[in-house]
Amino acid sequence: MSYEFIYFDLDDTLLDHKSAEAAGLKDVHDDFDLFEDVSAEQLIDVYHQVNSRQWRLYSQAKVSREELQRNRFELTLQELGLNASRYEEVGNHYMQCYRNHWQWVDGAKEAYYEILEKYPVGILTNGFAETQRKKFEAFDLYNSAQTTVISEEVGVLKPHPDVFSHATELAGVNSNNILYVGDSFSSDVEGGTKFGWNVAWFTENGEPEKHKKADFVFNNFIDLKHLLKI
């Protein structure tokens, strides 16, 4: 297979979103007296459940972005038995704390820059446009990548085919010459392969049935470099 363009997912592929999220929530927990009777682990746990439910509803267009941003903190506070009317200050503080903890996934920065020397590269990400744009700036991705696609700007989220169609047009190559590197099975592996892209799945997941759906599975960026003969 000859790849003519490499697209990367952003969160939990190039950048370690999960750790930044947990560290940001830990800061929020420590900065508000509101949380004195719950542990940081409880807050993180409940937030994860609420947030993933809200993102699912958002991707099905059942809640708006504003509702998602509000609900994920309002419902978390509610479920913890705390004063839910403070969702806005908690949510705003979280976004500031979250930003302080952004960093590359282990090995991703080196791989990204080495791949850039050999292939045209793009970024394709779900997530809030405003937040993702700040990540592009903070990690110099606007300058280094040839294309940057945020699904919110397209109007639908991965795995919707319109996102992949738009990204393919911007890349200017055929869909079967694109390799997508991503960590999400539903958004990246299923979404990408359905559109005819090749997908390298970055995961620790051990389910063979799921592995079969991806063209390549890896959990260390050195293996991705080998695939790309770097």
**Residue 148 or 184 having the CB closest to Mg ion:** 184
- In angstroms, the CA 42 to CA 46 distance is 6
- In angstroms, the CA 11 to CA 194 distance is 21
Q: How far is the CB of 93 from Mg ion (least distance, A)?
A: 24
Is 50:76 a contact under the CB 8 Å cutoff? yes
Q: How far is the CB of 182 from Mg ion (least distance, A)?
A: 6
**Residue 27 or 183 having the CB closest to Mg ion:** 183
**Residue 9 or 27 having the CB closest to Mg ion:** 9
Structure tokens of 44? 């993180």
Of the candidate residues 5, 9, 16, 136, the single one contacting Mg ion (CB under 5 A)? 9
Q: How far is the CB of 184 from Mg ion (least distance, A)?
A: 5
**Residue 9 or 16 having the CB closest to Mg ion:** 9
Binding mask 87-126 for Mg ion (x = CB under 5 A): ----------------------------------------
Task: Give me the sheet containing 121-125, strands edge to edge.
Answer: 147-150, 121-125, 5-8, 178-182, 198-202, 216-218
Q: How far is the CB of 157 from Mg ion (least distance, A)?
A: 12
Q: Which position has the token pair 């592996």?
A: 189
**Residue 9 or 21 having the CB closest to Mg ion:** 9
**Residue 76 or 203 having the CB closest to Mg ion:** 203
Residues 159-218 that bind Mg ion (CB under 5 A): 183-184
31 backbone dihedrals φ, ψ, rounded to 5°: -90, -15
The count of residues interacting with Mg ion (CB under 5 A) is 5
**Residue 12 or 27 having the CB closest to Mg ion:** 12
Q: Considering the rule CB under 5 A, would residue 12 count as an interface residue with Mg ion?
A: yes
Q: Considering the rule CB under 5 A, would residue 21 count as an interface residue with Mg ion?
A: no
Is 10:147 a contact under the CB 8 Å cutoff? no
- In angstroms, the CA 3 to CA 150 distance is 22
Q: How far is the CB of 17 from Mg ion (least distance, A)?
A: 7
DSSP codes joined into one string, 58-84: HHTTSS-HHHHHHHHHHHHHHHTTS-G
DSSP codes joined into one string, 170-200: HHTS-GGGEEEEES-IIIIIIHHHHTT-EEE
Q: How far is the CB of 55 from Mg ion (least distance, A)?
A: 12
Q: How far is the CB of 175 from Mg ion (least distance, A)?
A: 20
| Residues at the interface with Mg ion (CB under 5 A) | 9, 11-12, 183-184
